[in-house]
Amino acid sequence: MCANMTSMIYESNHWCFAMIAVLAVSLWPFSRRRLAQPEQQEARDDGEKPVIDHVDWGIRLGMIGRFERAAERFAKAVHADPEDLSAHYNQALALDQAGDHERARAVYNRAIEIDPTFADVHTNLGLALLELGESQAAMKSMEKAVELDSGDPVPHFDLGCIYLSRKQWQEAVSEFREAVKADPKDAQTRFNLAIALRRAGSSADAEPELRDFLALARGRYPEQRAFAAKLLSEEYEDKGE
pLDDT digits (tens, 9 = 90+) for 48-75: 554 578 988 898 888 888 999 999 999 9
Mean pLDDT of 149-158: 93
Q: Residues with Cβ < 8 Å from 224, sequence gap 6 or more?
A: 15, 191, 213, 217
- Residues 61 and 95: beta-carbon distance below 8 Å: no
Give the distance from CA 201 to its chain's centroid: 28
Across the range 10-39, mean pLDDT stands at: 39
Domains, the chain: 1-15+24-39+50-151 (1.25.40.10), 167-241 (1.25.40.10)
pLDDT at 51: 53
Q: How far apart are CA 102 and CA 182, in angstroms?
A: 31
Does residue 102 register a pLDDT over 80?
A: yes
**For position 235, what pLDDT does the model report?**
72
C-alpha span between 21 and 200 (Å, rounded): 12
pTM across the whole model:
0.77
